[in-house]
Amino acid sequence: MRPVVALIMAVALSGLTAASADSPGFVDPDTARWEVQTATGADVFYFGEIGDIPLVGDWDCDGVDTPAMYRTSDGHVYIRNAPDGLADPQPFWGRWDDVILAGDFNGDGCDTLATYQRVSGLIHLSNSLGSEPTVEYYFGIPGDKPFVGDFDEDGVDELGLHRESSGFVYMRFTHDIGFADAEFFYGIPDDRLVAGDWNGDGIDTVAVMRPGDGIFYLRNENSLGFADEQFEVGDPDYVPVAGTFGRLQSPPELQPRSFTIAATGDVLIHSAVWESAQAYAGAGGYDFLPMFEPLRSRIEAADLAICHMEVPLSKDNRGISSYPSFRAPREVADAIAAVGFDTCSTASNHTIDKGVQGAIDTLGVLDSAGLGHAGSARGPEEDVPSLYEVNGVTVGHISYTYGLNGLRVPVGQEYTVNVIDEAAILADAALARELGAEFIILSMHWGNEYQPVESSFQRSLAESLLADEDVDLILGHHAHVVQPIDKIGDEYVVFGMGNLISNQRTSSRRVGVDDGLLVQISVTETGGGRFVAESVRATPLYVQADGHRILPVSDFLGAPDPSLESVLQTSFDRTSERALRYAPEGVTID
């Protein structure tokens, strides 16, 4: 969040000395932070949610104004009467496109609510917070900007309008249809008007905040003329308010929501890998846990950990096979879950190596291990984005592959696996957003095998997808070598994370296939409730030939075995160079 600077100058405003004088205040819509000038100095507090529209009124008739916030998403006004704490009453009021206004419209000393319809100039007002509108009339023309004040010193608040097209302020002294009772030229287009009794004489007058020059201009008369006082404000986005405030305190400061993601490369189970698992198991069966165990601390530390299950899994460990048509033992899923993974992307070129039934069996095995999945489905009802609640944030996950090694799913069962199509990806992302996802992750099985630089297809598609408001992060697989991390706009793409586990070994043609990358991504809520990946921490991984343990390289540098030390250092340097090829901001290597 951007810092909030002090908004109220040391108030030497000549007209603010009377006890009943109104004080100016400002609200940051991006943080729900208020700062108002009270008799005892500047008062700073938080109230409401980001994006709420602020109001001020004497809601409980005690002579002291307190804040309220209008939440357009639910149509409620949240009113705070106590000097600390959350909202007390929560009346439902208005439509999302109405302007909500506060004022004492009958002079009884209690402020209530009114709405101004932008497109018609129709005003609805009520003299009781919990009641339906009791007065209805037209004033002004579409596009006028309304404000409320007691302009004629009769103890009753009335409506004023600022017409940007003419620069005039129009005021009515009664709540009925008719022309303005007073008008004068004041302000310019884009000014934000607020009325208050700045000098305590019982008459509300107009002040403006001018975003273009960051100045608050105050008048003590409703007439043509220059401002009587002016002072700087901190940010052009602040909303001006006015009231006679008591001392206010904040409820606990709103903290931006955040979460972390851990993601890794291809799970590719060759025969040599499952033979190592048999050796670990000893008396029969398969034990993959020793291979994944070195990752545990990093995976468990993440709020959401995502693997990429490239190969089908056997539901009963029959028909185990390796390249070119894979089927891996079911215990792979158990080991992945045991070290802390939460879910796996499953769309790959090997998803239907064993047909549609093989894809169905894989999802059943993942379910049994307690792992989520995205990218393949057992039926059309399951062919939807996966959603996860992560630290109070709804995170969406979708997964796609470039192809299926020449295989085809039967007609009518295309839901079985997602094949890359830009329009389909964006439709899925939009659906995830519609279903409530606040941050959307796209896993992509793409690129050219054994090439440490992304293809032109990867680059152009990443740029197009990240330009869409519904795709927030891309995680890449398939190349079997580490590819670059880049930042496009303010969003990251990890083009390729190499292999998490396999039996591929570095050769003159396949350099770095025994390398992998674990990325730990920090995501934070920004203004307006949007979530952005703020940083990426990349950990080089290396798969040992003997036993296929997956080593976070930095944890094992300095090992007693000099030959392993040399191999790990070479792997670390190679992975670092490839991952940081573009040196994107916010990416570090450990």
Three-state SS annotation for 163-180: ECCCCEEEECCCCCCCCC
Residues 6+ apart with CB under 8 A from 255: none
3-state helix, strand, coil in the chain (%, to 5): 15, 35, 50
State the pTM of this model.
Answer: 0.65
H or E stretch at 240: strand 239-243
Phi/psi of residue 330, nearest 5 degrees: -65, -25
Tokens, residue 328: 């891996």
Provide the pLDDT for residue 41: 64
Domains and CATH numbers, the chain: 23-241 (2.120.10), 258-589 (3.60.21.10)
Three-state SS annotation for 20-60: CCCEEEEEECCCCEEEEEECCEEEEEECCCCCCEEEEECCC
Buried b / exposed e across 55-91, counting CB within 10 Å, b at 16+?
A: bbbbbbeeebbbbbbbbeeeebbbbbbeeeeebeeeb
| Nearest-angstrom CA–CA distance, 339 and 295 | 7
Phi/psi of residue 563, nearest 5 degrees: -70, -40
| Nearest-angstrom CA–CA distance, 139 and 116 | 9
- Categorise residue 63: left if φ over 0, alpha if ψ from -120 to 50, beta otherwise: left
Give the angle 251-257-258 at the CA atoms, nearest 5°. Answer: 150
Tokens, residue 559: 């090992």
pLDDT tens, N- to C-terminus, the chain (590 residues): 222 222 222 222 333 333 468 888 889 888 888 888 665 667 788 888 888 899 999 999 988 888 999 988 778 899 988 766 778 878 888 776 789 999 999 999 999 999 998 888 899 999 888 778 889 999 999 889 999 999 999 999 999 999 988 889 999 999 988 889 999 988 888 888 999 999 889 999 999 999 888 888 888 999 888 888 887 887 888 899 998 887 766 655 667 899 999 999 999 999 999 999 999 999 889 999 999 999 999 999 999 999 999 999 999 999 999 999 999 999 999 999 999 999 999 999 999 999 999 999 999 999 999 999 999 999 999 999 999 999 999 999 999 999 999 999 999 999 999 999 999 999 999 999 999 999 999 999 999 999 999 999 999 999 999 999 999 999 999 999 999 999 999 999 999 999 999 999 999 999 999 999 999 999 999 876 799 999 999 999 999 999 999 999 999 998 777 888 999 999 999 999 999 999 999 999 99
Q: What single string gives the DSSP state of each residue in 262-297?
A: EEEEEE---HHHHHHHHHHH-SSS---HHHHGGGHH
333 in Cβ contact with 369 (< 8 Å)? yes
Tokens, residue 474: 């891309």
Tell me how far apart the terminal alpha carbons of the chain are, to the nearest angstrom: 27
